[in-house]
Structure 1
């Protein structure tokens, strides 16, 4: 099976390409570095030519309101090229709970991406994952000030990027779901406690202060970022840190 992996050189995309090729498929990575631009449409027709599946792992360069325009334009261009090229399956990676946090611009943008796909002409699959373990350093940096990091106690169920990539690759070579496959890490942590675990394991002496108003996830209510009914990936957070 031939797969065009758009965003195939990034954190998830590069691992998806590696997994697919290792299992005997032909996965071709595409990105700006290979001459593909999802916003202008440059190189898209050529990228999807002959592909059975398109896996779209591109991401907005910002998490603010501008991300809405990014996903609108990129999905319009990609779906048009894929439809023209006769692609039979279109896969995207999204976020667990994405449609339940309209207060976050980025989550509204990812919900828009899902809606564009489901309304489009191509059989599709959506993989929703919980927050990546790999992003914890960024989360800490958002509210770091001197020797203190402020974090809310929002429940988080972190997943390793390698487990996300495995799930995306498996879905991509399967029958289009015309629905959602959810994958999550095996453990749930309050975000502030996850911060303390991370700093301790790294030998970082900064102190985490619980602050319900701090950071991107402060607006998230309840446990919408977790889902114990999802397929639970094997990698535990402390093992990943080690």
Structure 2
């Protein structure tokens, strides 16, 4: 659960720190990859972590709903799962997938669901990714600095780079794939809605699974999300 919260906060911090005509929308959905080296993020209490993640995120600002899938690799484990968050009843469901199958746990909502795209701190101007132009948007908040690369022509997030404070060097990079500037429908999987399924319900955090795996290629990690 710790790594899920970390990854989710990275994405929310990146994707909710924008402004302009492109961002007058009811939400977005996208696939992503995230890489962190000595990353210090809001949920790590100042402790640096290193990880790689691939997944999807789908946010509906108007309905206050959010869905995330994640595949997180650390030095000794792989964490697989899904999260569904609903602002209307302040509830979230976390699906944990490990070698024993899948379980769904109902929890109080403890992650923020954005309501819109706020303003950026500064627009630093254009830069090319390969040969296509993006705009560099800077966000400075809560002791961290981000530079977000945004495709203004197609209204799409491209990448984000989050730096730690200079006294504790570290960086988190998020790449956004197949970004769509609108939300997709969100529905709970049957494991969370069918009473006959094995469902856990409590107020405790979910322990991460401990599936030990070897290295994976990016293609392998992304395959479930396309």
Range into which the TM-score falls when normalised by the shorter chain: under 0.3
Structure showing greater Rg: 1
More strand by share: 2
TM-score, scaled relative to structure 2? 0.24
Higher helix proportion (structure 1 or 2) = 1
